[in-house]
Amino acid sequence: MSLRWRLVSVFGLVIFFTYLAAANFVSPERRADAWWLPDDGLLLGLDLRGGIHMVISPDLAVAQDHERDVIRKGLERELADDGIATERLAVSGGRVEVSPRLPSDADKLREVVDRYQTVDVETLGGGTLALTLTPETIDDVRERAMLQTLEVLRRRIDETGLQESVVTRQGRERVLVQIPGVSEVPDIFEATGFLEFKIVDDLDQTEELLLARYPDGIPEGKQVYFEEDRETQRVIRAYLMDKAPAITGEYLDDARVGFDSRLNERLVTFAWDNEGTRIFGELTEKNIGRQLAIMVDDKVYSAPEIQSRISRNGQITGNFTAQEASDLAVILSAGALPIPVKLEEERTIGPALGSDSISRGLRASALGLILVVAFAFGYYRLSGAYAGVALLANLTLVIGLMSLFGGTLTLPGIAGLVLTVGMAIDANVIIFERIREELRSGKTPRAAIATGFKKARWTILDANITTLITAIILFEYGTGPIKGFAVTLSAGIVTSVFAALVITRLFFMIYPGDRHVAELSI
């Protein structure tokens, strides 16, 4: 490629990235009015533009209750397969209690119970066995619930398009969520999406009318739940159902918005995984003709009548608006939370501190650039001036590159930007010292430049690739601020190598170029 085309391509690229970088200093309002400016630019992290800071506490006690209910259901199936009738099989007082109907089945019952390695077994009066979760099982259940909650929250926030959010663990039993650029918690986030299905035992228009049929109180293990009008929040039905769900969203595989052309309304369709298909199939087969309540966060969305066995696929109806159906589908498809969660702390972080941090960071970068350029020019003379211009181009390339890919700038990212300015001169120093060595060995300036760049190339690449690998690891395994630092550092490494090996080399091709000069200003 000729020198002219190299100049056009390189300087065209620098001008383009300078345009992207400069657009970040224009207010969003003016940017929206100016068609020649890009709509998007460099994103700012929570510490620079403000946002929402939340601490969420999963209800880990519910996870233990779910584990006990899983054990109860497992016992129910195994005892039925072995032909052992039970007098009592229920979860009570934080343990599973089971007793045989026939005293002669006591030994058989004990054999079945002993298969469960996750419980401690205690014999009560009347031949009743009490199964209590072992401490190791409790720790495992709580840890698994925390990990599932973290994963579901991460996926759900990604589904909503809230970019550059932080979802990480705080301590053993809390989750920290930071969402930059918003002033209130999105509705879709507040809905935890704890999906349950329960068989309806009784229902009426109000709780009073329903409870009036139970003067002695509702049966043990039952609870009243409500279906509300989503516009007025008024209770339209009260349902009497088991406290324990027949199946939960733990087995949910997929959910999406659909449309019922017969009823002319939107609905949400869902599908179970293999285990969920088996459980849901058995549930619907045993309860044909009864109503099945579909519940999200302890509220009944709908309670259709089971008309036949349903295995893998089902649907949730309820006169949804387009937005309600979309929100519910996102919540469920992003993963139903294994347990309910509650918002323990919510703070709105203002952008005032961020503005001050940005201005200080820019001043630090500018000061660093001036000092580095002054040193380079004083020590390497004209070659140092070449390095200074390449360094300035490098700075605009970093900001432009991050803007192009929608990168996020955080306070540690500004630190990475300042570090990039200081590190960017290293490659030029290596090149210039190589050229000096070649000049001392007696080579002409033109030959010394060509050899210096050639010998320094692999040294520069080796040094920067190892740093880039470290930055990638920081980005992959770091959280929030660490990721911001890693992004800026990675972009700075790439642009620094380009500036040293391409832009600085281009200046030497311009002068001295093909000229036979007696001395090189270096």
- Looking up residue 102, the CATH number of its domain turns out to be 3.30.1240
The tens digit of pLDDT for each residue in 213-231 reads: 998 889 888 999 998 886 7
Do 141 and 132 touch, CB atoms closer than 8 A? Answer: no
> 367 and 440 share a domain?
yes
CATH number of the CATH domain containing 448: 1.20.1640.10
Look up residue 68 and give its amino acid. R
- The predicted structure's pLDDT at residue 514: 84
Q: Please report whether residue 155 resides in a domain.
A: no
Could you tell me which of 409, 372, 475, 392 has the C-alpha nearest to residue 15? 392
How many Cα atoms sit within 13 Å of 287 on the Cβ side? 20
Q: Please report whether residue 103 resides in a domain.
A: yes
Here the contacts of 181-185 (C-beta below 8 Å, separation 24 or greater) are 181/43, 181/44, 181/49, 181/50, 181/51, 182/51, 182/52, 183/50, 183/51, 183/52, 183/348, 184/52, 184/348, 185/52, 185/54, 185/343, 185/346
Cβ-count burial 164-191 (b if 16+ within 10 Å, e if not): bbbbeeeeeeebbbbbbbeeeeeebbeb
> 270 and 386 share a domain?
no
> 358 and 342 share a domain?
no
Angle separating helix axes 411-440 and 481-498, nearest 10 degrees = 30
Do 249 and 191 touch, CB atoms closer than 8 A? Answer: no
Cα angle 277, 271, 318; round to 5: 120
Q: Say if pTM beats, i.e. exceeds, 0.85.
A: no
- The predicted structure's pLDDT at residue 428: 92
Q: Residue 177 belongs to what H/E stretch?
A: strand 174-180
**What average pLDDT is seen over the chain?**
84
Of 347, 367, 391, which one is at a domain's C-terminal end? 347
> 391 and 431 share a domain?
yes
Q: Is the pLDDT of residue 36 over 80?
A: no
Of 325, 347, 369, which one is at a domain's C-terminal end? 347
> 77 and 211 share a domain?
no
Do 50 and 351 touch, CB atoms closer than 8 A? Answer: yes
Q: State how far the Cα of 369 lies from the Cα of 388, in Å rounded to an integer.
A: 8
How many structural domains are present in the chain?
A: 3
Could you tell me which of 473, 475, 471 has the C-alpha nearest to residue 493? 471
Q: What mean pLDDT comes out for the span 97-126?
A: 89
Could you tell me which of 498, 519, 511, 315 has the C-alpha nearest to residue 424? 498
Q: Please report whether residue 300 resides in a domain.
A: yes
> 96 and 218 share a domain?
no
Q: Please report whether residue 41 resides in a domain.
A: yes
> 10 and 105 share a domain?
no
C-alpha separations of 417 from 375, 458, 492 in Å? 19, 24, 7
> 230 and 334 share a domain?
yes
Q: State how far the Cα of 415 lies from the Cα of 474, in Å rounded to an integer.
A: 15
Of 277, 312, 347, which one is at a domain's C-terminal end? 347
- The predicted structure's pLDDT at residue 233: 79
> 76 and 36 share a domain?
no
CATH number of the CATH domain containing 215: 3.30.1360.200
Q: Please report whether residue 161 resides in a domain.
A: no
Length of the chain: 522
- The predicted structure's pLDDT at residue 161: 63
End-to-end Cα separation, the chain, in angstroms: 27
Residues 6+ apart with CB under 8 A from 215: none
Q: Please report whether residue 55 resides in a domain.
A: no
Q: Please report whether residue 453 resides in a domain.
A: yes
> 335 and 281 share a domain?
yes
Domain span at residue 275 reads 191-347
> 372 and 385 share a domain?
yes
Q: State how far the Cα of 73 lies from the Cα of 60, in Å rounded to an integer.
A: 20
Q: Please report whether residue 521 resides in a domain.
A: no
Q: What mean pLDDT comes out for the span 34-59?
A: 76
> 22 and 72 share a domain?
no
Among the residue ranges 42-51, 201-210, 512-521, the one predicted with the least confidence is 42-51
The tens digit of pLDDT for each residue in 420-452 reads: 877 788 899 999 999 999 999 989 999 999 999
Q: State how far the Cα of 112 lies from the Cα of 78, in Å rounded to an integer.
A: 8
The tens digit of pLDDT for each residue in 269-282 reads: 878 888 888 899 99
Cβ-count burial 98-107 (b if 16+ within 10 Å, e if not): bbbeeeebbe
